[in-house]
């Protein structure tokens, strides 16, 4: 069962452009995490959002948690080729021993 | 930060054989470990959750007799793919929660399994 829906699945943009990735669910999550994964490596945590309406910034990345804690977005300003990778949102499911359930991911390609 | 290490990072095995992947928490006690499988260009799919000293809880559709998970100590969990077939070829990733580390989950580097 896919608890988290991510969109878009694929995104190819040019350096300098802005983009937004969305993560939606019908479930309420105690927290949502965003990860970035390079091919052949484990995911690397970017941010955890906990409070409804919370906004966190990480340099050119802005993360927002929806007021109802069912959705989140990741906005990248002035994308750079180094931002290329697979972006994954993940939510904690309480009754699975805090297992993370992942969205399908957004594969981002930033070309010079 | 806490470190989770997986071994081997890459393994090739013949169809019909079994292969074991280890997941170790290097500097903390992992009370819960999670095993994920990731096919190329897809997301991570949770296979099972294991708590130290108890049987693993498998997600729907994951064969417990095929994917044997052992979490015998607070620093080691193993995933054994039995009677492997080419369709089992995948990227397997473990993650762990630790005692005293709150709800933070730490991921291993992943293990590529190729069954030929």
pLDDT, one tens digit per residue, over A10-59 is 999 999 999 999 999 988 888 899 999 988 888 999 999 989 999 999 99
> Residue B22, CB half-sphere, CA atoms under 13 Å: how many?
11
Distances from the Cα of B8 to the Cαs of A57, B40, B90, B93, B101, in angstroms? 36, 19, 13, 11, 26
Shortest alpha-carbon distance between residue B4 and chain A (Å): 10
Whether A40 and B91 lie within 8 Å, measured CB to CB: yes
Determine the pLDDT at residue A35: 95
**pLDDT at B100 > cutoff 70:** yes
What pLDDT score does A2 carry?
62
- Interface test mutation site (partner B, options A6, A37, A42, A47, max chain B beta carbons within 10 A): A42
In this predicted model, what pLDDT tens digit does every residue of A56-107 receive, in sequence order?
999 999 999 999 989 999 999 999 999 999 999 998 765 556 678 899 999 9
User: In whole angstroms, what is the distance from residue B110 CA to residue A40 CA?
Assistant: 7
For A104, the closest of B43, B46, B110 (CB atoms) is: B43
CA distances from A11 to A32, A64, B93 (A): 22, 20, 25
pLDDT interval class at B40 (50, 70, 90)? confident
**pLDDT score at A64:** 97
Q: State whether residue B107 sits within 8 Å of chain A by CB.
A: yes
């Amino acid at each position: 069962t896919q608890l988290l829906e991510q969109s878009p699945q694929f995104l190819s943009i040019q350096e300098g452009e802005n983009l937004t990735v969305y993560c939606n669910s019908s479930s309420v999550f105690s927290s949502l995490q965003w990860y970035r994964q390079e091919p052949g490596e484990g995911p690397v945590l970017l941010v955890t959002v906990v409070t409804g309406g919370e906004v966190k910034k990480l340099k050119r990345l802005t993360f927002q948690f929806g007021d109802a804690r069912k959705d989140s977005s990741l906005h990248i300003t002035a994308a750079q080729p180094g931002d290329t990778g697979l972006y994954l949102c993940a939510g904690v499911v309480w009754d699975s021993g805090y297992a993370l359930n992942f969205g399908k991911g957004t594969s981002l390609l930033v070309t010079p | 930060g806490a470190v989770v290490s997986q071994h081997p990072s890459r393994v090739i095995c013949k169809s019909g054989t079994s292969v074991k992947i280890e997941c170790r928490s290097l500097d903390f006690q992992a009370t819960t470990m999670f095993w994920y499988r990731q096919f190329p260009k897809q997301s991570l799919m949770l296979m099972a959750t294991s708590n130290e000293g108890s049987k693993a809880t498998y997600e729907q559709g994951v064969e417990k007799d095929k994917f044997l998970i052992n979490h015998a100590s607070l620093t080691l969990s193993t995933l054994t793919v039995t009677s492997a077939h080419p369709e089992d070829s995948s990227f397997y990733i473990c993650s762990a929660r630790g005692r005293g580390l709150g709800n933070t989950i730490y991921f291993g580097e992943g293990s590529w399994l190729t069954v030929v």
